[in-house]
Structure 1
């Protein structure tokens, strides 16, 4: 394992530790668990999973055995997938923060959910086509021709969240 890989793994393990402390603090500090509190805890858990799966992908990269073959693929899939799920959690958190307990979800929030689903579906297709990324014979990750599309989906989600905040900020 290279020094670079060890550095990435160590930093991600520290990130998991920090997220665990934050999630525990949120859980302990709020005796009445609102939807917003649960979403904050879910965001911390998603972040821990994302960092953990990314650390696994760094640990198993370049290794040629069968376990490494599957772990690198599962880990990279998980990193992309958790990013899309996190995007939905964050948009929901923002909506719960500024909505003043409205029960009807705005179209912008539903659009973020749709972008997350589209991103995950394209990610599943990527496993067979190399759309966003692929792996070479040495089990190394490479970005595919449509990698920027995966990033554009995330940027669109951020844009929709800003629209969501703007829509809900005014009565």
Structure 2
């Protein structure tokens, strides 16, 4: 591929990324942590594509000014090339742990190779460590070019290992999407490393970013903004599909949960603390259910859990696990509030024998009856 072919490919990738960045900015100016990380990756790759294009345009053209433009373009290219992969590793950690503090702890260690690469890139301008510009203004790889490649692939290896180690903690669709990200850049990198003259790495990274962007849009469509659980829209779809599944006849357990005294938490501590209670409850449910089930925010302070279950004992075991984790949460020190849940649950046969609305109506009735019993019990305790 000639220089102008590489530039045209880069320009196409730049246009794609500008569209993605513009759409994200137009949609919201307040970004969640994973959206911020993704936005940084898009901006970094756009800058790298610009510097990559400049070096292809300058390569082999005479003149002192062209020499310095070529040198500076390659300097910034090498200095920035690890940045998208660094933030990709942070993005993965956040998607799996959903914890900003945990992500920030890893940030310190992950930044070390990036900072080393910047220092070596600057030194390269004087000693040709990674690259040099020859007398005819052509870019040439330096003797230690491979060090930059190894450090870059180190981020890839880290992200893949981290994903595989935490596979059981990751929802299946999310795991597949995150793994798919690594494939195009690896293919593009191998082609470019062994076939000098092909600029495929960053257009391939752009493809991966577009895949992740589509996944982000899908998550926003089906995810509750506050709790990070699935929303009512996806609950209806998932429950309908599960109940109408004729290919794998069986049964599912459905649990509806409601936070007791949620209005009191809002009135006593404010809506910010009330939101925190919803988030904490969602985290407890995710911990209790794991990857085997489906958890959604039904609305307000109500949640629905769907798990595969053959009989009543299996759904009761799930309910007991939730109650155990709620009890552990309430034992924490310096707690402003405690969380108590009313639950209604039942086993339902799949294969179109019962409708979604019937299921929700039945477990809602059971949950409400449990809530009334909890209220009566609480009043009796107060009287005593």
TM bin (shorter chain): 0.7 to 0.9
How far did 1:8 drift? 1.2
Matched residue, 1:34: 32
Superimposed CA distance per residue, residues 146-170 of structure 1 (whole angstroms, 9 cap, x where no aligned partner): 1111100111121222333345554
Counterpart of 1:75? 73
The structure with higher relative contact order (CA 8 Å, sep 6+) is: 1
What is the aligned partner in structure 1 of residue 122 from structure 2? 124
RMSD: 2.2
Give the structure 2 partner of residue 52 of structure 1: 50
> Going by fraction, where is strand more abundant, 1 or 2?
2
Residue 16 to residue 102, structure 1, CA distance change in 2 (3 Å): closer
- Does the 8 Å CA contact 2:55/2:70 hold for their aligned counterparts? yes
Aligned mates of 1:74, 1:98 — CA distance in 2: 38
Q: Is the 8 A contact 2:94 2:103 kept in 1?
A: no
CA contact (8 A) 1:9 1:58 kept: yes
Bigger mean CA offset, 17-26 vs 30-39: 30-39
TM-score (normalised: structure 1)? 0.87
Match of 2:62 among 50, 64, 67: 64
Paired residues of 1:115 and 1:157 also in contact (CA < 8 A): no
Gaps of 5+ in 2: 170-286, 288-384
- Conserved in 2, the CA contact under 8 Å of 1:81 and 1:120? yes
Deviation at 1:115, TM superposition (A): 1.2
Alignment partner, residue 91 of structure 1: 89
The 3-state SS of whatever aligns with 1:138 is coil
Match of 2:143, SS state, is coil
Runs of 4+ in 1 over 6 A off after TM superposition: none
Bigger radius of gyration among the two = 2
1:55 Cα deviation from its structure 2 partner: 0.6
CA distance in 2, matches of 1:168, 1:28: 34
Q: Pairwise mapping of residues 135-154 of structure 1 onto structure 2 (< 5 A)?
A: 135-154=133-152
CA deviation map 1:113-163 (0-9, x unaligned) = 111111111112211111111111001011111111110011112122233
Give the 3-state SS of the residue equivalent to 1:145 in structure 2: coil
Q: Distance in 1 between matches of 2:114 and 2:158?
A: 12
> Could you tell me how far apart the structure 2 residues matched to 1:164 and 1:109 are?
14
Name 2:110's counterpart in structure 1.
112
More deviation in 133-142 or 82-91?
A: 82-91
How many residue pairs get aligned? The number is 169
**CA deviation digits over 1:78-128, x for unaligned, max 9?**
111121222222112112211222513477654321111111111122111
* Structure 1 residue 58: Cα displacement: 0.9
Q: Which residue of 2 aligns with 1:21?
A: 19
